A and B are shown apart, each in its own frame.
Chain A
Amino acid sequence: MYVHDAFDRRLIAERVEEFRDQVRRRLSGELNEDEFKLLRLLNGVYLQLHAYMLRIGIPYGTLSSAQLRMLAHVARRYDRGYGHFTTRQNIQFHWIKLEDLPDAMADLARVGLHGIQTSGNSVRNVTTDQWAGVAPDEIEDPRVWAEVVRQHVTLHPEFTFMPRKFKIAVGTAAHDRAALRIHDLALRLHRNEAGEAGFEVMVGGGLGRTPFLAKTIKQFLPKHDVLSYVEAVLRTYNQFGRRDNAWKARIKILVHDLGAEAFGREVEQEWQSIKDGALALDDAAVAEIAARFRYPDYERLADDPVELKEARAGDRRFETWHRSAVARHRLPGYAIVTLSLKAEGETPGDATAAQMDAIADLADRYSSGEIRVGHEQNLALPHVRQQDLYPLWRALDAIGVATPNVGLVSDIIACPGLDYCSLANARSIPIAQDLSRRFRDGDLARDLGRLHINISGCINACGHHHVGHIGILGVEKNGEEYYQVTIGGRADEEAELGQLIGPAVPYGEVANVVEDIVAAYVELRERPGEIFIDTVKRIGIEPFKERVHATH
């Protein structure tokens, strides 16, 4: 948990007052909609199809129970009783009134939450591994570095009006759970041969109309240079990124046009002139931030306590859930528990106010008051004693967040799509709901194993369809909803972009195509246990193409 200090709190409070004034000026006509648009976007306020939408960042995906309760309160008081968790560790409220926004923000500010730079052409919420601080395979808690960077880019006077949005992710584990290579800038902490930790710096990743995976421009950046280097990247982008065409304005295009090497040289030159200046970090500054991440007072426990063993042996439903939702914690006797927000027929990533309140209570009881939000649109409880898993499961099951489908075919990632979003070509949510019904059979889903389906309602790719094992993209054809289907994408340390499996299909055909792809996989896999993405990697997409073509 990160404990805000007086500086952090004051800044957020001052921001709320500034926004209140901006809303007042908009309502009085002093600001026209064009001017106001830029300002509201910098506070996470979008104008959508039916109403304003408020996006709240959840830095590095860590929430306290008090914060989650406040999100529930906002959902209930200002919205329609639910919120939507996104693929970038944010939550969105889709039905907020403009006049209510300043009050909603003031409520959120009381627990340190805000929408600052969750949209607009600014540096967005810095994301990281949702298992930060508890994953067995990390070399340091990435949130410390995410927080160092977050503070630096918050209301940065130079980088608030950049060519386009800018997304940063930080990872420190062997396994990439933060989708590093699809970010504008990714920092991966690793050890060099001398055993020192430093960052691999990757730039120019991003999905959207022209998807690219980020390229490495620096193999090893000493940790204490991270701010000056980030500054050099941002300054290079702010000055030279394209501004004549919004579709070409992301840093990925600049990196592509210049070439990663030339871009890297430009950054390096800039960096050399600032690296020994005011941005050089010293141990005291980093320690000061690290000290504000609090960990529970862990007990000395052993793995597989008798309560757990008995429950797993005695209750098949629990055992099934345990295999899907429980992951190893870095300490013996503890577990990380994923809460599926992908119940059959529901909107992926949605949680009701009642669920949020209940989860906050369970976090207090079983997870030291801490909750995590992951880019897969699920939540997690990061500090659960294994001996508590059984009663926890019963409570989670009762509120509908214990569907045993984590990482499986029905754990679908989907953007809001045409049901809410003014940019959408097509609906995403009903496709996800339909697929979750088709694959409701848990035994089948478990036999299929790990399989990620990602759905975006337009080329902006908020559902990360390019990196879905199966990716579904809504397009428009003669005024109708069509969908392109790709396979073979992934966002982890072996990141790949998916490839098209054939021409776009109409709305009613999408689930059939997915079923055909899945059927083809079952036929083509070497053995049960070879997961979908490995089969595609081994044999390529052609065999899949043929089979899908044969039936459509």
Chain B
Amino acid sequence: MQLIKGGRIVEDGFARVADDAPVPDRLPVIVPAARFLAEADAFAAREAPTGVVWPNDRRVAELAPYLDRLALVGLVFPVFRDGRAFSQARLLRERHGFRGELRATGQVLRDQFLFMLRAGFDAFEVTKDADAAAFAQAARRYSVFYQPTGDGRVTARASRVGRPARDSLERDSLL
């Protein structure tokens, strides 16, 4: 597994902490959803960044009240074909305004990278090393897009009638 962030392979600055393990004070950590919700106040008081892995069968609206305290949300693709986290990602970015790191975890393959970028992910725990190495290429696979999402890429419709898509978040496009 390799972590991609900002379009490059990087070291993971976050440590995964299991349900019952002690939380190190000064380290960025990622905790499971249930633990985060149970100890939300304690996590809020921490100085180091906190991230949460949110399961794909739970509404992200539940997470909305905590988003300003979260440095990272990890969404899960338990298998390649289970695409629920694509909807969760868009809702977190486009409806709830989450600006922290949005990380794709689980079975994350090259062929989903561009979809994930478009849905708002900016970090990827990539299953295969060869896919991680091919990230930049896969992210450039397409140059035209039909759907407006929060990623700010210009759509065919917008270009055709000569005006930018309304409503796009002003995040920098990653690549």
Contacts and interface: CB of A to CB of B under 8 A. Distances in A.
A interacts with B? yes
Interface of A: 5, 7-8, 10-11, 14-15, 17-18, 22, 30, 35, 38-39, 121, 151-152, 154-162, 235, 238-239, 243, 273, 277-280, 284-285, 288
B167 A157 contact: no
14 contacts: A10-B144, A11-B144, A18-B142, A35-B80, A151-B156, A157-B114, A158-B90, A158-B115, A161-B81, A161-B82, A161-B83, A238-B84, A239-B59, A277-B166
Contact of B109 (A35, A157, A279): A35
B26 interface: no
A14 B112 CA distance: 15
Interface string B95-119: 1000000000000010110111011
Contact of A39 (B111, B116, B142): B111
Given A157-B114, A158-B86, A160-B83, A14 B144 contact: yes
Contact of B115 (A151, A160, A278): A160
A151 B109 CA distance: 25
A280 to B, nearest CB: 8
A7 B86 contact: no
Interface of B: 59, 80-84, 86-88, 90, 95, 109, 111-112, 114-116, 118-119, 128, 130, 141-149, 156-157, 159-161, 165-168
Contacts of B157: 151, 285, 288
B146 A30 contact: no
Given A35-B109, A154-B146, A235-B87, A14 B141 contact: yes
A10 B130 CA distance: 27
Q: Identify whether the interface residues of A are mostly helix, strand, loop, or mixed.
A: helix
A522 B119 CA distance: 59
Nearest to B161: A284
A14 B142 contact: yes
B148 A278 contact: yes
B156 to A, nearest CB: 4
Contacts of A277: 166-167
A288 B118 contact: no
Contacts of B84: 238-239, 243
Nearest to B58: A239
A30 B130 contact: yes
A259 B123 CA distance: 38
Contacts of B111: 18, 22, 39
Contacts of A288: 157, 160-161
Nearest to A161: B83
A271 B2 CA distance: 37
Contacts of B141: 14, 17-18
B146 A158 contact: no
Contacts of A5: 160
